[in-house]
Amino acid sequence: MIDVIEVPDGAGTEMVRRVPAVGSGEFTLGAQVIVRESQVAVFFRDGKSYDVFGPGRHTLSTLNLPLIGARLTGRVFGQSPFKAEVYFVNRNVFTAIKWGTRDPIAYRDRELAMVRLRAHGEMAVRVSDPVLFVNKVVGARGIYTAKEVEGFLKSLVLGSLAQTIGGVLDTIFDLPVHYDEIATATKARVFAEFAACGTELAGLVIESITPPAEVQSRIDERSSIGAIGDLDTYRRYKGATALADAASTPHAAGGALGTATGLAMGMYLMGEARDALAQAPARSADAGPASPCGSCRQAVPPGSRFCPHCGAALSPVPCDNCLQPLTADARFCASCGHPATSS
């Protein structure tokens, strides 16, 4: 006979403990049932739940066990023992249950096209309907821990999370500001599924939602380019730095370091040459208009010392009268007015 029925809190990991652990126990009317603050006791007889006891000390009688008492009425010789099982259900919130995606979630990103995401976090679960939980999930097990239900509940969360991400996000670049929104929407989406098992998702925390490493590296490169700003100025800076490093490293010309330095110097010089060619027309335009050759009267680029058409020297010719220099296209001396000698 079992006169006192109770289950200590234990390590806090047990969701349900059955008394007795195997088979049915013999109870008598008048036995004491001790239910702690965090527990609920559910009586089962012949595989069916009859009565539920909340926290406190209870004495079994026909008043608090009317269904069982009715089954005992009329038994031979007035015998009172009856066989039943008691399930003590822990109503505490089971926290720090880790969850994570085993397979990546396929997500269509607005900027990156198709991306595969992985998600990790924690969730908190509690039993909301003890009778339903025992009937649907626990069955006839003697002890049922949170660890045993984690896999099933995680699958519900992850299935909903995949749908929620697609409905909330346009691009993963907006992820950090949407974590709370995604968690809240996921909780609302799985509410009915958890309730059907007699449980409740008390809390859901998303720690990270990340793309594969290769996609993350491309995002980092994109951020770096945005931080650099003026690529031309950055290239000049890197070229100058490479030249300075080469000058301060005695053996930089040998091995891999020399090769890298040579490449950096080559890229720098090529860039400088390209810039010089691009700026050459602008400098020529600033030098003034072309003047005619004194010999063949063809246009000569400013600053030329010889005519590119006839090869004549373009140095100033002196005036025959006052010996002052004449311009190539002068017909009279600007100093004395004497006619210029034509050749």
Contact indicator for 58, 35 with CB cutoff of 8 Å: yes
Give pLDDT tens digits for 183-209: 999 999 999 999 999 999 999 999 998
Q: CATH says 94-215 is which class?
A: alpha beta
DSSP string, 254-287: SHHHHHHHHHHHHHHHHHHHHHHHHHHHHHHHHT
* The dihedral sign for the CA sequence 21, 26, 28, 29: positive
Cα–Cα distance measured from residue 188 to residue 200, given in angstroms and rounded to the nearest whole number: 11
pTM assigned to the model: 0.58
How big is the chain, counted in residues? 343
Tell me the backbone φ, ψ of residue 8, rounded to 5 degrees: -60, 165
Quick one: pLDDT at residue 237? 64
Q: What are the sequence ranges of the domains in the chain?
A: 2-90, 94-215, 230-248+255-276, 291-343
The model's pLDDT over 236-291, given as tens digits with 9 standing for 90+, comes to 666 667 766 766 665 544 555 555 555 655 665 566 656 655 555 544 444 456 66
Helix-helix angle 231-248:255-286, to 10 degrees? 130
CA distance 122 to 138: 23
Buried b (16+ CB within 10 A) or exposed e, 5-43: bebeeeeeebbbbbbeeeeebebebebebbbbeebbbbb
In the predicted model, is pLDDT for residue 145 greater than 80? yes
> Is beta strand 143-145 parallel, antiparallel or unpaired with respect to 105-109?
unpaired
Residue 252 per-residue DSSP state? T
Q: What does the radius of gyration of the chain's CA atoms come to, in whole angstroms?
A: 46
Please name which of 145, 148, 94 lies closest in space to residue 122, comparing C-alpha atoms. Answer: 94
pLDDT band with cut points at 50, 70 and 90 for residue 122: very high
The confidence score (pLDDT) of residue 270 equals 64
